[in-house]
A and B are shown apart, each in its own frame.
Chain A
Amino acid sequence: MNTNTNRGWLVAGLAAFGLVAVVPAADAKIRVVATTQDLAYFARVIGNGEADASSILKGFQDPHFAAAKPSFMVEVSRADVLLSLGLDLEIGWLPLIVTGARNPSVMPGQAGFVDCSQFVSPIEVPAAGADRSKGDLHPKGNPHYWLDPENAKKLARGIADRMTQVDPGDAAAFAGGLAKLLSEIDQADAGAKALFAGSEIPPVVTYHVTFSYFFERYGIRPAGFIETKPGIPPTPGHVASLVTQLKALGKAPAIIVEPYYDMEVPRELGAQVNGRVELTPSSIGGTDEARTYKDLIVTVARKILGK
């Protein structure tokens, strides 16, 4: 590269900046950027037409192993509100995006930065503190708390509060949106309860501890996990012991697999224990069936029951 090329880039960049700068920000809608599609969905319903909500990750992507793509910095640099799940779920990538975005409005500590884990009480918090010999992924407790409708309601209220704080002018719209969302969450809960009522729940195996909150809400005790520890991939020995355990139960298990895990080991396991392997959304957008929160919760219940 020579200096002329360097200068050419600079001139082009500055010219483009000039063009962007003279276009006034016409829309008064607040911009919400969320780390996951669930949080973005909540913000969109609450926004009631008065908020632009987008998510960094799609529902079928793995929130533990996302990349700090610089294009996300651009998105966050223009945000009025940044919603994150917290509990260190996004620690491998979100801090780089937040600092790279250089946007003081959504820096932690400001009203624009929302660590949504503050609205719920985490479970599976390591009693003696975190230690990577126990796996790396959940040092502060299980971060997959949005899959419990009760937590979802707390989340909805917390997010609505913050959006109102940042944009008080649209308080009425947000209150209306919140009411809609709360009623959808109630329907989701009622839908799952109706499915579970009167059905025999099979032993359930999941890949990762993604569904702990869902299980707790509906009284399901997981029969095992394909991972050996959160974030540590399965070994043949672990799978063999899982097979023994499941065979001892004497019932065909449901093997629930999140969209971002490899299906090979679950299929092998399924073949050995006569289990039903189900690709199951863990977030809105995780599969085509899960387009709303209600659909997500009902779909998870259906996958467990095989209905």
Chain B
Amino acid sequence: MPICRTGGASRPRPGPLHLAILCAIAVLPRLAAAQDAAGSPLGIMDRSSGLGMSREYNPAMGGSLIIGGEYLSRKATRMSLPAAVQQGLGETGLHFNEAEISVSAAVDPYFRADLIVAFAYDHGAFSTDIEEGYVTTLFIRGFTIRAGKFYLPFGRHNTLHTHAFPFIDAPLPLVHVFGPEGLNMMAVEGSWLVPLPWFVELTFDVGSHDNPLFRSPEGHDLVYGGRLRTLADLDDDTTLEIGGSYFGGKDLAGGWTHAYGADMTLRWRPARREMYHQLVWQTEYVRVSRQNDHAVPQPGVGASTDEQAAWQALQDVPGGSAGLYSYLAGQLGRRWWLGVRYDAFGFPWGRGDGHHRVTGILTFLTTEFAALRVQYGYLFGSDAHQVLLQANFVIGAHPAHAY
């Protein structure tokens, strides 16, 4: 069996993440049909661990820690806010928001595994959750297959972990439609880099019905969907990304629920000054429609907040509803970011308990691993003011910065 080179006379050892990725993809290509078998420059493992406790195959580990504070205006008690907003909010006070541990490694020459465990604290209760845990293939030309539990590729925001959110809280339409945990479930996914002169990626997923939006009464129905993502370079400094997403499955009433998404991201990052300036304008539109309007049984008293939120989302507007968010974020200097966001849910207005909000955020970074953020939000309708503070730390394996 081929082995990854982990040590050599004159070369320093690779770091954990690099090692994981290099090892992961080092030897796989041998499987690929088009691969020239000659000349794989693999080294020989010349060290051994007598007791079998070698560190060489330890996974790359990383962690993040988020602590925060919140002020909610007196006029707006938590319970007076719309259901979806409540879930994005806590209460006035200091919070230990979330800690995450991530572990990544090559399983063997053909698969890579990633596991992200989240520890959260909400209203006096700690909870632990496998946020993501999946294996990914590494040996197929043009194609990737992934299986496990993960954030499904619905739009841009849904796949982000909390510490990578552009604002402290998630946008209203996504919380409304998929609940505070997002669209995250057991699934099998295939994704294809379409061989075109510009970037086009097609992803297809088949998932379980773990999300409250798709909780079918049968208990065994699947969720189907995917995403088309395209990106064009407008010039050396500017890119435009346009994507479309769809997921569908049976809802609590046994009828089909469809979730559609469209997203657009314009990013400007000037060459020579990439460390100091960046401008991002991102907009996502989300629409949910139901095949039929027959009544959905209300979840019992013991039901989870997810379930209640999903039920609520389906009640709000018979036949479905829609929402969007749009934000502009700019990097002012090496350590400062400023952002403003508008988000709304409950289109068309006047049919349900639609609500909308404006949010501003200021971020100070010491390095890319530590950020302090302060955010102000005003919720129209509820006339609620909210101030959030957050300190966000990342340690361990070097994080990958998805574009």
Contacts and interface: CB of A to CB of B under 8 A. Distances in A.
Interface of A: 1-3, 5-6, 9-10, 13, 16-17, 20-21, 58, 60-62, 64-71, 73-74, 77, 87-88, 91-93, 95-96, 98-105, 107-111, 117-118, 121-122, 125, 130, 132, 136, 139-141, 165-166, 231-233, 259-262
Most A CB within 10 A of own CB, among B260, B335, B400: B400
8 contacts: A9-B244, A13-B228, A61-B272, A70-B231, A98-B21, A109-B2, A111-B39, A259-B272
Given A67-B401, A99-B21, A122 B199 contact: no
Contact of B138 (A21, A87, A107): A107
A67 B31 CA distance: 30
Given A95-B17, A99-B21, A105-B29, A16 B272 contact: no
A166 B41 CA distance: 12
B390 to A, nearest CB: 21
A3 B402 CA distance: 28
B401 A93 contact: yes
Among all A-B residue pairs, the 6 with the closest Cβ atoms: A109-B26, A104-B29, A104-B32, A1-B262, A70-B199, A111-B39
B276 A262 contact: yes
B260 A1 contact: yes
B320 to A, nearest CB: 12
Interface string B129-146: 000000000111111100
A140 B274 contact: no
Contacts of B194: 13, 16-17
B303 interface: no
B61 to A, nearest CB: 14
A76 B279 CA distance: 26
A136 to B, nearest CB: 6
Contacts of A121: 10
Nearest to A3: B246
B25 interface: yes
B403 interface: yes
Given A67-B274, A99-B25, A103-B141, 19 more contacts: A1-B244, A17-B194, A65-B274, A66-B274, A67-B401, A68-B403, A73-B199, A77-B195, A91-B18, A98-B25, A104-B139, A105-B32, A109-B25, A109-B26, A111-B41, A117-B11, A136-B369, A231-B367, A260-B272
A20 B367 CA distance: 43
Most A CB within 10 A of own CB, among B11, B195, B202, B273: B11
B195 A92 contact: no
B273 A260 contact: yes
Interface of B: 2, 4, 10-15, 17-18, 21-22, 25-29, 31-32, 34-36, 38-42, 138-144, 193-202, 228-229, 231-233, 236, 239, 241, 244-246, 260-262, 269, 271-276, 285, 287, 334-335, 367-369, 395, 398-403
Contacts of A108: 21-22, 25-26
A65 B275 contact: yes
Nearest to B399: A92
A111 B38 contact: yes
B14 A104 contact: no
B275 A62 contact: yes
A46 B275 CA distance: 33
Contact of A58 (B202, B239, B271, B285): B271
Contacts of A87: 12
B29 A110 contact: yes
A6 B228 contact: yes
Contacts of B142: 77, 102-103
A93 B269 CA distance: 15
A68 B196 contact: no
Contacts of B4: 109
A140 B233 CA distance: 33
B282 to A, nearest CB: 15
A262 to B, nearest CB: 6
Given A104-B35, A104-B141, A68 B25 contact: no
A148 B75 CA distance: 67
Given A67-B274, A111-B40, A95 B21 contact: yes
A107 B272 contact: no
B319 to A, nearest CB: 14
A13 B200 contact: yes
A74 B142 CA distance: 10
Contact of B202 (A13, A71, A122): A13
Contacts of A58: 236, 271
A136 B2 CA distance: 32
Nearest to B139: A104
Contact of B274 (A62, A68, A109, A125): A62
B196 A88 contact: no
A283 B201 CA distance: 33
A260 B273 CA distance: 6
A20 B196 CA distance: 7
A9 B403 contact: no
Contact of B193 (A102, A118, A132): A102
Contacts of A141: 12
Contacts of B260: 1-3, 6
A117 B22 CA distance: 14
Contact of A70 (B201, B246, B369): B201
Nearest to A80: B36
Contacts of B401: 67-68, 92-93, 96
Nearest to A90: B18
A261 B233 CA distance: 24
Contacts of A140: 12-15
Contacts of B197: 20, 74
Contacts of B334: 233, 262
Contacts of B36: 105, 111, 166
Given A61-B271, A96-B401, A259-B272, A107 B28 contact: yes
B219 to A, nearest CB: 27
B196 A109 contact: no
A102 B140 contact: yes
Most B CB within 10 A of own CB, among A58, A64, A105: A105
Contacts of A13: 194, 196, 200, 202, 228
Nearest to B369: A132
Contacts of A107: 25-26, 28-29, 138
